[in-house]
Amino acid sequence: MTRNRRSGLAVLAAGLALLLAGCGGPASTATSGPTRNLEVLSWWTSGSERAALNVLFDDFRTAHPGVDVRNAAVAGGGGSNAHVVLANRLLGGDPPDVWQTHPGASIEQYIDAGQIADVSSIYQHDKLSSVTRQDLRQAVSRDGKQYGVSTGAHRINMLWFNKRLLDKATVTVPAGGYTADALLNDLAKLKAAGVVPLCLGAKDPFASAELFENTLLGVIGADGWASLTSDRLNWNGPQVRQALGRFGTMLDYADPEAGALTWDQATRKLAAGECAFESMNDSAYGELVVDGAKEGTDFDYVPYPGTDNLFLTVVDTFVMAKNAKDPQNAQAFLATIATAPTQLAFNKLKGSAPLRTDVDVRSLPPYQQSAAKAFAQDPVLLSITHGEAKSPQFQQGFYDAIAAFAQSKDINVFNQALLDAVNQVPPPPH
């Protein structure tokens, strides 16, 4: 980050903190005065995640030099372990000041439980309301109040590929309109050429879940997604059967080492030319860059088959504990995330598109510029894999059903696991 950007940011954040203090924002609910600490819990520990998280910390520290920031990140892609640690800390009445979550059902659980603070004042003072998509703002709101600040939007429905391996197997480089049948043909060709066709980090359950989610979206489209999220999708019907059939075939082409690999390790294999295709949200972009791979030369990408012009998203959102130990710092950290310079610098490393639509993205690489454009103009769909579109209980059932199907390749086993999860979902609170 340049000196100018840093000092501009410091002034902006300091001004914002003053404004918030004067206007009785959420920090005014604090029982204590200023403190010198801030604890932030996330699951960002891979190379690109860590670098991007450090942008948030650095920008916060520049504006608040006296504050000691504790990075309480817990490794585990998609938050698998962080969620457990967080749940235990919430249960024990010892929440971190700030934690990572997602819009929709994920943040709702904390709003329902009264565990997070209203941070609407950040939206008012930073004009965040006028530069964020209404649907995504809605997804972090309850009764007109905002409860989280988002860094950026990842596009899930992306397919990445190693260009040299495709070349080796004389596979034509995919372009828009690439179909599921074409992908399956290409996977077969790669296998015949002695190449590992599909990269997969199956040690992180979210990676297989994204592969299935993308495959399902490719079959049911945006209308089907609307049915799914409103519980009208027939999980036993021909479309789900078709998606599961394709998913099963794809698993047959997956890296035999997949079970021992995390999502970022699988992505590193793509960068190194050890496997050819990967279905992964564009966290993969940040990771490929960290791995030294060059867009257009070493790797390229295409929307996942059947999902052109759709933006299935995982949005990262930060919330502050209602009973935070360091409420003023927590509030100021969220205010830092909300600024345009921080969003630009953060997303550049993370691979995602800034949530603020007024960020000038011309300094981002071509992929990210195209993703930012797609985010601005395409229908944005919330994800099941990341607990946005459906409850965390349903999300868990989805993971269980996918794991059970991967073993059995039996749709009845898939449906039973999902049904078990749905039956466990408690009725919505009144």
By C-beta, is 317 or 336 nearer to ligand GAL? 317
Q: How many of the other CB atoms lie within 10 Å of CB of 197?
A: 25
By C-beta, is 62 or 383 nearer to ligand GAL? 383
Q: Residue 385: what are its φ and ψ, rounded to 5°?
A: -50, -40
Q: Smallest distance from the beta carbon of 262 to ligand GAL, in angstroms?
A: 9
| Per-residue tokens: 383 | 């994800």
Q: Smallest distance from the beta carbon of 236 to ligand GAL, in angstroms?
A: 29
By C-beta, is 263 or 414 nearer to ligand GAL? 263
Q: Smallest distance from the beta carbon of 44 to ligand GAL, in angstroms?
A: 6
Instruction: For residue 107, list its beta bridge partners.
Output: none
Q: Smallest distance from the beta carbon of 15 to ligand GAL, in angstroms?
A: 29
**Kind and range of the H or E element at 1?**
none
E runs forming strands in 79-148: 98-101, 141-142, 145-146
By C-beta, is 53 or 220 nearer to ligand GAL? 53
Q: Smallest distance from the beta carbon of 343 to ligand GAL, in angstroms?
A: 14
By C-beta, is 316 or 326 nearer to ligand GAL? 316
Residue 229 burial class via C-beta count within 10 angstroms: exposed 0-12, middle 13-18, buried 19 and up: middle
| Per-residue tokens: 59 | 């920008």
> In 3-state terms, what secondary structure has residue 103?
coil
Q: How many of the other CB atoms lie within 10 Å of CB of 278?
A: 29
By C-beta, is 35 or 283 nearer to ligand GAL? 283
By C-beta, is 149 or 180 nearer to ligand GAL? 149
**How do the residues of the chain divide into helix, strand and coil, expressed in percent and rounded to 5?**
50, 15, 35
Q: Smallest distance from the beta carbon of 387 to ligand GAL, in angstroms?
A: 9
| Residue linked to tokens 């950040």 | 122
By C-beta, is 43 or 212 nearer to ligand GAL? 43
Which contacts (CB < 8 Å, 24+ apart) does range 246-249 have?
246/180, 246/184, 246/215, 246/219, 247/211, 247/212, 247/215, 247/216, 247/405, 248/405, 248/409, 249/184
C-alpha distances (whole Å) from 320 to each of 19, 50, 63, 145, 332 are 19, 20, 18, 14, 10
> Rounded to a whole number, what is the distance in angstroms from the first to the last CA of the chain?
47
By C-beta, is 165 or 349 nearer to ligand GAL? 349
Q: Smallest distance from the beta carbon of 256 to ligand GAL, in angstroms?
A: 23
Q: Smallest distance from the beta carbon of 261 to ligand GAL, in angstroms?
A: 13
Q: How many helices (H) and strands (E) does the chain have?
A: 17, 12
Q: Smallest distance from the beta carbon of 356 to ligand GAL, in angstroms?
A: 17
CB-based contact 353:17 (threshold 8 Å): no
| Residue linked to tokens 């609407």 | 120
Beta strand 353-354 pairing with 299-303: unpaired
Looking at residue 402, its amino acid is: I
Q: Smallest distance from the beta carbon of 102 to ligand GAL, in angstroms?
A: 7
For 3, residues 6+ apart whose C-beta sits below 8 A from its C-beta are: none
By C-beta, is 43 or 398 nearer to ligand GAL? 43
E runs forming strands in 180-310: 277-279, 299-303
Residues that bind ligand GAL (CB under 6 A): 43, 49, 77-79, 154, 263, 283, 314, 316, 386
Q: Smallest distance from the beta carbon of 419 to ligand GAL, in angstroms?
A: 25
Sign of CA dihedral 362, 345, 81, 330: negative
By C-beta, is 111 or 315 nearer to ligand GAL? 315
